């Protein structure tokens, strides 16, 4: 979920699942923003950052792609809440993701992603990637220090869930359909999902140098695990 970083390549990521029409403007607008509290009448949960993770895979492209790297960009610094009482239509969630908390190309995480990320990345390269990613041309961290993720509507179909999500990245707003699974345990919710996003859909321009000879693919692969613990 980001318009990210620096050079990439690799097999095409999976397609974003198809779904119904985007909800009309104003649908579920009572859902508070991440910094606010969830409705008092609902069963409330708080996101546990230690158990949660947002991971983004960025792939290199262009005639000079071999000069760059694919990237694994990950964070556990997630803040937010969820409400759920067993009825998907009444569920809601909101998260804030500080962009400065992203860890770039951790060696262990790269190994977990397999052959497309087998290349070793130097500290100098990681610093350069962070500089480009957080700069004004991409995430613009100085003006927009956090991403905002907020549910618009949640539905359940055939045992799995999907949510229309309002996403704000670097001042750009978009609405996306996000599929996920939900494990419900006493006092604990665990949501897992994977999807593909296009940076251009998010209002961002993929990083490019040398007149496009070295650039990142428009598509980003996103995986997440959000763990929420019941309050009270």
C-alpha triplet 41, 43, 46: angle, nearest 5°: 120
Global pTM reads 0.78
Q: Evaluate the CA torsion angle 9, 181, 15, 174 in order and state its sign.
A: negative
In angstroms, rounded to a whole number, what is the distance separating the alpha carbons of residues 149 and 146?
A: 10
Supply φ then ψ for residue 212, to 5 degrees: 90, 0
Residue 4: C-alpha distances to residues 14, 16, 203 (Å) = 18, 18, 12
* CB contact at 8 A, 105 and 129: yes
Q: What is the dihedral angle through the alpha carbons of 98, 101, 104, 109, rounded to the nearest 10 degrees?
A: -110
Six token digits for residue 13: 């990521």
Domain 44-230: CATH superfamily is Lipid/polyisoprenoid-binding, YceI-like (2.40.128.110)
List the chain pLDDT tens, one digit each, 232 residues. 343 333 333 333 333 333 333 333 333 333 444 545 556 667 899 999 999 999 999 887 544 444 467 889 999 999 999 999 989 999 999 999 999 999 999 999 999 999 989 989 899 989 988 998 899 888 899 999 999 999 999 999 887 899 999 999 999 999 999 999 999 999 999 999 999 988 788 877 665 544 344 457 788 899 999 999 999 7
B/e letters for 193-215, b = 16+ CB within 10 Å, e = fewer, are bebbbebebbebebbeeeeeebb
**Domain locations along the chain:** 44-230
- Residue for token digits 């997630």? 78
As a whole number of Å, the CA-based R_g of the chain is 18
């Amino acid at each position: 979920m980001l318009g990210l970083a620096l050079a990439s390549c690799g097999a095409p990521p999976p397609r974003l699942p198809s779904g119904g029409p985007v909800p009309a403007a104003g649908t579920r607008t009572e859902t508070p923003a991440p910094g606010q509290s969830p409705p008092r009448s609902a069963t409330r949960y708080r996101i546990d950052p230690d158990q949660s993770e947002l991971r983004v895979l960025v792939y290199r492209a262009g005639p000079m792609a071999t000069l760059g790297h694919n990237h694994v960009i990950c964070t556990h610094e997630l803040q937010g809440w969820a409400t759920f009482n067993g009825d998907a239509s009444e569920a809601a969630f909101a998260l804030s993701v500080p962009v400065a908390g992203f860890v770039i190309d951790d060696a262990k995480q790269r190994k977990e992603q397999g052959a497309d990320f087998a290349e070793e990345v130097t500290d100098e390269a990681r610093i350069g990637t962070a500089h480009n990613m957080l700069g004004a041309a991409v995430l613009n961290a100085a003006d927009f220090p956090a991403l905002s993720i907020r549910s618009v509507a949640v539905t359940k179909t055939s045992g799995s869930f999907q949510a229309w999500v309002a996403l704000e990245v670097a001042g750009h707003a978009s609405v996306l359909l996000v599929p996920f699974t939900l494990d419900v345990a006493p006092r604990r919710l665990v949501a897992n999902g994977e999807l593909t996003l296009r940076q251009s859909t998010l209002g961002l321009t993929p990083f490019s140098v040398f007149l496009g000879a070295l650039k990142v693919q428009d598509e980003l692969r996103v995986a997440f695990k959000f763990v929420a613990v019941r309050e009270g």
